[in-house]
């Protein structure tokens, strides 16, 4: 989907300096360890790449270079060093979270007098961030790494693109120029899907979305069967629930998450990545006769890139600034990328 990078989030969120001209995470007073000084009012602990990498302990690297290449998104820059330094420690942390959460739920079952033999509730992870920031690659890497841990071999990944309204309905609602904005999703169906998985239903299905035709695939469904872990990836997965017509607050998608990741970068870097990806797609996937964007291979390069820049500035960047970036402060972990697509700093919400 060609849809939408971040300004500073609300007060308790970690800073990234987006749109301010300052360096990512720079300017924050730190103590000798590189962490924020205790006097600073923040729920996060900031870590450099080296500090974070050291936390992987002795976790072995289970992926080969070929596997990483297959998981990498178009235009994303990732290699075994990035997996070893960033995503191995994250998989270790998530494994610890899964075990701790399972223990907590066991204690709750004991208190409620329920059988300890009941199958555990799936652990749900949300992955958010701008279009073109690399959150899909992060999600696929986490799926591959987490499935290698013996405690939770069944790891499913669902993208919220599957819950975009069909193109015909988007047109009827006048939302084609708002595709990717919160109102373009069937949020009720998405939340119900995650709630049903979390409740341990034997089988839950979701629509299938195709980036080639830029729409849902008629008649196709993705079926999820009692996973150990469910990863939910999308632009707006961390948004709080909207009040209902009666003014009462409803349960939102993020309320079902046990852990969440926000993939962050400067808006100007994401714009460049977005345009580079458009260039590569124009030479590859857009050439397919079935592609919704094939018409942009039939015009001059200047005309095609004028369209891409307009899409970025009037749709994707607006969505990022108004809807996506403000949710950064709700994430458990913020992963900050530099201009080379490599992670530079991380902010972990303290328990």
* Binding site feature residues: 129-136
Rounded Cα distance between 349 and 70, Å, is: 31
Residue ranges of the annotated binding site for ATP are: 129-136
**Would you mind telling me the total number of residues written for the chain in this entry?**
351
Structure token pair of residue 131 = 């279009």
Write the DSSP string, 115-157. Answer: -TTSPPPPEEEEEEE-TTSSHHHHHHHHHHHHTTSTT---EEE
From 168, 161, 167, select the one nearest 185 (Cα to Cα): 161
Write the DSSP string, 202-240. Answer: S-EEEEEEETTTTEEEEEEEEEE-S-SEEEEE-TTTTPP
Rounded Cα distance between 22 and 253, Å, is: 33
């Amino acid at each position: 989907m060609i849809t939408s990078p971040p300004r500073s989030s609300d007060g308790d969120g970690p800073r990234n300096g987006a749109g301010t001209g300052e360096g990512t995470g720079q300017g924050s007073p730190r103590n000798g360890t590189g962490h924020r000084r205790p006097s600073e009012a923040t729920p996060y602990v900031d870590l450099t790449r080296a500090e974070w990498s050291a936390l992987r302990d002795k976790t072995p690297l289970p992926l080969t270079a070929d596997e990483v290449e297959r998981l990498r998104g178009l235009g994303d820059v990732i290699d075994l060093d990035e997996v070893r330094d960033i995503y191995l420690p994250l998989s270790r942390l998530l494994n610890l979270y899964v075990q701790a959460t399972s223990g907590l739920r066991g204690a709750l079952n004991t208190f409620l007098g329920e059988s300890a033999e009941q199958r555990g509730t799936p652990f749900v992870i949300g992955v958010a961030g701008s279009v073109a920031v690399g959150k899909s690659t992060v999600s696929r890497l986490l799926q591959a790494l987490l499935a290698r841990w013996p405690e939770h071999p069944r790891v499913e990944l669902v993208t919220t693109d599957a819950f975009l309204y069909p193109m015909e309905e988007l047109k009827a609602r006048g939302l084609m120029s708002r595709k990717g904005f919160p109102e373009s999703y069937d949020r009720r169906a998405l939340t119900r899907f995650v709630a049903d998985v979390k409740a341990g239903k034997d089988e839950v299905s979701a629509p299938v979305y195709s980036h080639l035709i830029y729409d849902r695939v008629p008649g196709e469904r993705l079926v999820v069967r009692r996973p150990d872990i469910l990863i939910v990836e999308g632009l707006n997965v961390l948004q709080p629930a909207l009040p209902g017509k009666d003014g009462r607050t409803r349960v939102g998608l993020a309320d079902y998450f046990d852990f969440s990741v926000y993939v962050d970068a400067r808006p100007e870097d994401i714009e460049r990545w977005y345009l580079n990806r458009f260039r590569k797609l124009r030479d590859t996937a857009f050439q397919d006769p079935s592609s919704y964007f094939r018409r942009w291979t039939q015009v001059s390069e200047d005309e095609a890139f004028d369209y891409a820049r307009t899409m970025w500035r009037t749709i994707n960047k607006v969505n990022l600034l108004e809807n996506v970036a403000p949710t950064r402060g709700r994430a458990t972990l913020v992963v900050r990328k530099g201009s080379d697509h490599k992670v530079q700093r991380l902010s972990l919400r303290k328990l």
